[in-house]
Amino acid sequence: MPPVTLHIGELDRVVGQEVAVSDWLTITQARIDKFAEAAGDFQWIHVDAGRAATESPYGGTIAHGFLTLSVLSQLLGETIAFDGRRMGINYGVNKLRFTGPVPAGSRVRARFRLGAVEPVEGGVQTAWHVTVEREGEAKPALVTEWLIRHYA
């Protein structure tokens, strides 16, 4: 599905609306292992499939919560295009919660609702209310308010 295109000067028109839902993304064990390498977080629940199969309450390995958070940039980039933007900067997150596990092999997607837009020098700051869903689960895997600065 092609991304929704929004002009950064007109974002106030969609405040309060769910702007887009991403396609599904499979969180593979290979991706989890690469994230563990990058982050230096080798906790067995993430990288030891044998041990996780017998000791984990999830029956196998699960993604790091911060891996789930980190795929938001990919999911947003594939889902929403920002017209009039020279660059975007992650400014932070508010109210971040990892509300459910993401077992290896799971498919996730993100729902993006624009909560607020405010001017900053050279652009605007957006506050996105993001819910990451895991396919087949009623409870989300992650909920957050994600702040992004868009510069013209």
Residue 1: predicted pLDDT: 76
Q: 51 φ, ψ to 5°? A: -65, -40
Average pLDDT in the chain: 97
**Could you report the per-residue pLDDT of 131-144, keeping only the tens digit for each?**
999 999 999 999 99
For the entire predicted model, the pTM comes to 0.95
pLDDT tens for 69-86 read 999 999 999 999 999 999
The Cα–Cα gap between 20 and 112 comes to 5
Averaged pLDDT, 28-34: 98
